[in-house]
Amino acid sequence: MNEEASGLDQYNVRAVERAIQILLSFDDSRPERGVTEVAQATGLHKATVHRIMMTLLQHGLLERTADGEKFRLGVRMVDLGLRALRQLDLRRVARPYMEQLVERFGETCDLGIFDRGRVLSVEVVYGDHTLIVATRVGTHLPIHCTASGRVFLAFLPSEIVEPLLQEPIPPCTEKTITCPHRLREELEATRQRGYGIDDGEFEPGIRAVAVPVRDVFGNTVAALAMLGPVERMAWGRISAMAQALMETAEAISALVLRA
């Protein structure tokens, strides 16, 4: 066991560890198992296995076979696996295109995905100026006042967006749009022009522009953004960046995993 893995032992949660053991007991040789079989394969008590499997069943990570006697991995597992593949493939494909944008405009380029009502940064290429806007991979950003967030609010399905628009809209700066009606107007403008804008609403003095990255079905799977100080992000430059971002997003969409 390596040092990192050893250090992580202190964070182990027994119930989660057992759930993982149960899920991993389903493999190509035994894709369907009953509770007793899983208990034997994992060495766990049958009652414990039953409780955990019922929880996994409830959340779609397991499903019953047609006869109701056994279980197999559920479609939610497939969805989670495909999400992981899409994100890995998305980053791999997007990185060189992002580097080209940074070389052309000199500003930071960020790739974000929608994550439980926020924007999760999954790739960043930094600009080459002395003063740059620094964001980090793994950072969560608010959805209502960032350019990438506006893209998700404008282009994700209404059943995802509407609950978010019912929540309180906290100000991040004095320029943040906190009126629901005004925010909806801005989202409509985002849809009309095809890109989202943040004009100092998240951080004072910072402007950003973002566009959707779509899959083969037209679903928005990511947001590609460029950001920098307002002194370097004049509105004419924003327009040029938006056009370049849209062309880049289209190129990324043509190459990224479409499953």
**130: exposed, middle or buried (Cβ count in 10 Å: 0-12, 13-18, 19+):** exposed
User: Is 84 in the same domain as 210?
Assistant: yes
- Between CA 65 and CA 90 the distance in angstroms is 34
Decide if 77 contacts 56 (C-beta within 8 A). Answer: no
Q: What is the CATH number of the domain that holds 31?
A: 1.10.10.10
The boundaries of the domain holding residue 221 are 79-255
Parallel, antiparallel, or unpaired for β 62-64 and 71-73?
antiparallel
Q: Residue 45 in contact with residue 39, Cβ under 8 Å?
A: yes
For strands 108-115 and 118-125, give the pairing: antiparallel
The three-class DSSP label of residue 184 is helix
- Domain final position from 37, 55, 73: 73
The pLDDT tens digits along the chain (259 residues) read 444 444 545 556 888 999 999 999 998 788 999 999 999 999 999 999 999 999 999 999 999 998 888 999 988 887 777 666 556 578 888 999 999 999 999 999 999 999 889 999 889 998 876 565 667 888 889 999 999 999 999 999 999 999 999 999 999 999 999 999 999 999 999 999 999 999 999 999 999 999 999 987 788 999 999 999 999 999 999 999 999 999 999 999 888 754 4
Q: What is the pTM of this model?
A: 0.67
Domain boundary (73, 90, 111) is at 73
Task: Please indicate, yes or no, whether residues 137 and 44 belong to a single structural domain of this protein.
Answer: no
22 and 144 fall within a common domain: no
Question: Do 114 and 52 reside in the same domain of the chain?
Answer: no
